Amino acid sequence: MKLSELLAASSLVFAMGIFQSSLASAHDEKMTSSDVALVSQIREDLAKDTNLSGPAQNIKIHAFSGKVILKGTVTSEGEKQTIYDKVAAESGVSSVVNKLDVKSE
């Protein structure tokens, strides 16, 4: 690969990273005070479940007008389902996008 091609590719990758970063920021800014309150309530309820692993307690939770997105890693399919069920049953949740990954031990 020529140096000019390498520099062009590097610039493109850098620009894409900045673009994705700005999208994430814009996405986060859309959380209303009720979305923040919903995420806090979900976190509080999950923290009460002593059967959930440490990684499960540290998942990312985002809410946008009642739509909740779960991201992160859990230790089993059962834990993934338990979290989904708890979140789906939460008052104010209209839908759940479960993007949790299961990491085998």
The residue ranges of every structural domain in the chain are: 1-30, 31-105
Q: Are 87 and 74 in contact (CB under 8 A)?
A: no
Helix (H) or strand (E) holding 61: strand 60-64
pLDDT at 32: 92
User: Sheet containing 95-102: which strands, arranged edge to edge?
Assistant: 60-64, 67-74, 95-102
Q: CATH top-level class for 31-105? A: alpha beta
Note the pLDDT of residue 30: 80
On whether the CB atoms of residues 97 and 69 are closer than 8 A, the answer is yes
Mean pLDDT on 80-105: 94
24-38: pLDDT as tens digits: 444 555 889 999 999
Mean pLDDT calculated for residue range 92-102: 97
pTM value surpassing 0.85:
no
pLDDT digits (tens, 9 = 90+) for 37-85: 999 999 999 999 999 999 999 999 999 999 999 999 999 999 999 999 9
Q: Match 């307690």 to its residue by tokens.
A: 57
